Amino acid sequence: MRVSVTTPAGVAKYCWLTKPDTAFNSENWKVTLVLSKDAAKPLISKIEKERKAHVAEEKAKNKKVKEAEPPFKPDMDEEGNPTGDMLFTFSSKTSVKPRIPLFDAKRKPMRKGVEVWNGSVIKVNGILFPYVAANGAGISLKLNAVQILELVSSGNGAGGYGFEEEDGYEEEEEDTFEDEENIDKEGDF
């Protein structure tokens, strides 16, 4: 049985929501959601309940089926130490879902062309999708829709590069570098 879930707010990592990931000769929408261990507990509990029920059902049909890894894991730092956060990877094939619906914090559909980058604060709606494969019986997380609570995007100006406002030199309002980028995008040719 497929169960719908909506996650608590977390941070987007490895974000492929507006442009598909084309690695491994396939096109997939996907995002890894980073949740604190406490925020992740209800989601983990729901996933584990469905996963155990699915594995038990498959074992009743075929005693040789093994249990696949869960669709979540601890986040690790560069030295391989746990950060205390949990990672949940949601994905869907572009052939099944040609576009992922994106909504703003007020539940309004977002306009096309908005890029959602790593670091955005999001909530994910997905499906707990039971499967049986060579690695065993398990649950995958199918990406259904995303609500953007705090957007990190290419259009965030200097803040998108990590700069904060400082005292000092201030450029005149006319003919900024960003204006030149927009002219280049429009093109004369």
Render pLDDT for 89-140 as a digit per residue (tens, 0 to 9): 999 998 888 889 999 999 999 988 888 999 999 999 999 999 999 888 999 9
Residue 135 in tokens? 């690695």
Q: Residue-wise pLDDT tens for the chain (189 aa)? A: 679 999 999 999 999 999 899 988 788 999 999 999 999 999 999 999 999 999 999 988 877 888 999 999 999 999 999 999 999 999 999 888 888 999 999 999 998 888 899 999 999 999 999 999 988 899 999 999 999 999 998 755 555 566 777 887 766 655 444 444 444 444 443
The pLDDT assigned to 105 comes to 94
Using only C-alpha atoms, the chain has a radius of gyration, in whole angstroms, of 20
- The C-alpha atoms of residue 156 and residue 154 are separated, in whole angstroms, by 6
- The C-alpha atoms of residue 9 and residue 88 are separated, in whole angstroms, by 12
Bridge pairing between strands 82-93 and 136-150 = parallel
The pLDDT assigned to 184 comes to 43
Residue 139: which residues within 8 A CB-CB, separation 6 or more? 47, 50, 51, 54, 70, 71, 128, 129, 130, 131
